[in-house]
Amino acid sequence: MLNLHIACDHAGFELKEAVKSKLHEELTALGLTIVDHGTNSSESCDYPLFANAACQAVTAEKSVGLLICGTGIGMSMVANRHQGIRAALCTTELHAKLARRHNNANVLCLGARMTGSELAKAIILAFFAEHFEGGRHQRRIDLFSK
């Protein structure tokens, strides 16, 4: 089993809780154990604090993450400042599949104010069921570092 480190801000709280309760079985079947880094209410908070906590755990364990804020943009910006994190903000299932196959994304970002909860759940399952294709895509990822 691999840990799936999840985090959100107030805007993503409801979706994070829905993921925990509704996708638990499907994620377990994919070999993932959810580890929740907060936030734990809909009270206004600062998303970088939660993104950083989850990304530090993903990096340390070489595992995977899921970050949810209002747009997904702030979470993805913070996540991609971490060495070794390749975070993808996805709004479709195809985004999710290609982020894994081509970009070896290890963190999925979602915007809870942009993407409905049913689509968000489908995106999550598509992302974590998919695998990296390697080959030319690895060569391109190796070119990321400046």
What residues between 87 and 126 interact with ligand RB5 by CB under 6 A? none
CB of 63 or CB of 74, closer to ligand RB5? 74
What does each C-alpha distance from 86 to 22, 23, 76, 103, 107 come to in angstroms?
26, 23, 9, 8, 6
Measured between alpha carbons, how far is residue 55 from residues 22, 75, 110, 118, 135 in Å?
23, 10, 15, 25, 26
Give the 3-state secondary structure of residue 58: helix
One of 69, 82, 90, 109 is an active-site residue; which one?
69
11 binds ligand RB5 (CB under 6 A): yes
User: 70 or 97: whose CB is closer to ligand RB5?
Assistant: 70
Catalytic residue among 10, 45, 95, 102: 102
Active site residue 102: yes
Give the C-alpha separation, 70 to 44, whole Å.
12
Site for ligand RB5, residues 41 to 80, rule: CB under 6 A: 47, 69-71, 73-74
Q: Which residues bind ligand RB5 (CB under 6 A)?
A: 9, 11, 47, 69-71, 73-74
